[in-house]
Amino acid sequence: MEKNDMVFGSLTDNIIVKHRERVTTASNVISLRKERNQKRHCGSGVAVTKLGVGAWSWGDTTYWNEFQWDDRKLKAAKGAFDASIDCGITFFDTAEVYGAGISGAINSESLLGRFIKERQQKEQVDVAIATKFAALPWRFGRGSVICALKTSLDRLGVSSVELYQLHWPGIWGNEDYLDGLGDAVEQGLVKAVGVSNYSGCCLTATLI
C-alpha cells in the first residue's frame, strides 16, 4: 500500500480540517464537506472516506474516560457517531479489545453496532467498519482468527466488515494468523485484511 493510500487522515490533514472548520462562509463549509466525502480506494477495491473515526475510547474503562463509563459518556459517544455520519464520515475503526468486557466495560464493537442499528432505523446509511484480531497467547491456529471475527461480527450486528487486521504480532503463531485472514476473505467475512503495530522487519519475517 502506498503512503498516499493510507485510510486514516494524517496529522496534517486533521490540522487542515480543524483550521477550515473555523471558516464560517457557506462556500468553505460546502468545500469541506465535499473533501470529507471523497473516498480512497485501497488495493482491494474497498472504498472508505478519507477521514475515519477511531472508537477506542467508546466503552473503555482501562485507559480512557477516567476509568469509568456512564450514561453521559454513552450519550457523547452516540453524539460523535451521529455527527460523523451527518458530515459524511462513514468509516469507523474499532477492535475486539476496545472496551473489553473482561474489565467490566461495554465493548466498543457492541456500541458501534448499536449506533449503526439506531441510525438505520431512521435512514439508510452505508458504514465501513475496520476491526481487529487480538493475538492473545492462548489463541492457536488459523481457526482462532475466524472464531474471533465471527464473534466481532455478532457484536457489530453485520455479516462482514470492510477491513480486518491483526492488532499486534503474536508471541507465536503469526503465520497461522495470516492464513486465518486469508480464510476470512475466502469465506466472505471481510473484504480486505491487514496488520497493525507490525514493524517492517516483523512483517517480513512473518511472510518469509
Question: Which helix or strand (DSSP H or E) is residue 163 part of?
Answer: strand 161-166
Which residues is 91 bridged to in the sheet?
52, 128
Q: Where are the beta strands (DSSP E) in 98-159?
A: 128-133
Alpha-carbon distance of 26 to 30, in angstroms, equals 6
Helices 174-186 and 200-207, interaxial angle, to 10°? 80
- Residue 93's SS3 state is strand
Alpha-carbon distance of 142 to 183, in angstroms, equals 8
Q: How many CB atoms within 10 Å of residue 155? A: 19
Helices 108-120 and 143-156, interaxial angle, to 10°? 40
Q: Are 146 and 110 in contact (CB under 8 A)?
A: no
Query: Which residue of the set 98, 164, 177, 198 is catalytic?
Result: 98
Please indicate whether residue 63 is annotated as part of the active site.
no
Catalytic positions are: 98
